[in-house]
Amino acid sequence: MTGGAKVSLVIPTRNSGRFLAETLASAVAQSHPVEEILVVDSGSTDDTLAIAVRHAGVRVLVQGYSGLCRAWNEGIAAARGDLIAFLDSDDLWHPRKLELQIAFLAHHADIDLVATRMRFFVSPGDQIPAAFDRPGLLDTDHASFFPGNLLVRRPLFDVVGGFDPDLEIAGDLDWFARIQDLKISTFTLPDTLYFKRLHSGNLSHNALARQVWRRELATACRASILRKARGQGRGPVA
């Protein structure tokens, strides 16, 4: 049964003081309450930590800057919930995101991961970064997998493993590839419940980051091909 399941939310962050309060507010406003919110801070030098500790129910895990994947993994390891969710520290949820995902999992015991549709947005007064300036991007909903639109049964990490800490940007893509290689049953709700903010500080914004992303994408694709050739789906556990 999942109706009374406890949800742990992992929020990795670094210098996100500009957006973190709004992100936390969208998590606290869920119609199905979040059991615990774990903010994993990777060496912030702004007011990120001060904002995080002001929120009741937030547990802050402080680490040196060691990358997004290690932050996700540390949050997963510390989480006490039956279900694990993720939210980037600049993104937002619809108030019913968890409620609808939990209701779905409660009636589909064969599904270990449920996602939602999502939409990109730009804060008022900001401009869309050139790397994301594509026709229609902000005007349509998308069914792609992002950590922020997932709700995952905790035992799935025992099967698939954690996020690869050797990858700076494409760790989520590599994890999703392992999900696919293992033929894990997933489902995407038709509702648009996750909103991803685009701004100049996005991890994949600048040219160097895009080069890293392309290199890591090739690495993830090669790893997937090797797993399939060996009949293996499980990836690295950090």
pLDDT in tens, 6-20: 999 999 999 999 999
Q: Positive or negative, the Cα torsion across 98, 101, 106, 109?
A: negative
Name the pTM for this structure.
0.88
Asked if 114 contacts 186 with a C-beta cutoff of 8 angstroms, the reply is: yes
Look at the chain and count its residues. 238
User: Bridge partners of 8?
Assistant: 36, 84
Domain ranges of the chain: 7-230
Instruction: Answer yes or no: is pLDDT of 137 > 90.
Output: no
Residue range 64-122, pLDDT digits in tens: 777 899 999 999 999 999 999 999 999 999 999 999 999 999 999 999 999 999 999 98
Task: Report the Cα 237 to chain-centroid distance in Å.
Answer: 17
Q: What is the mean pLDDT of the chain?
A: 88
Identify the three-state secondary structure at position 210: helix
pLDDT digits (tens, 9 = 90+) for 140-154: 999 999 999 999 999
Tell the residue number behind the tokens 């730009």, with chain if given: 122
Contact (Cβ atoms closer than 8 angstroms) between residue 104 and residue 187: yes
7-230: CATH topology: Spore Coat Polysaccharide Biosynthesis Protein SpsA; Chain A (3.90.550)
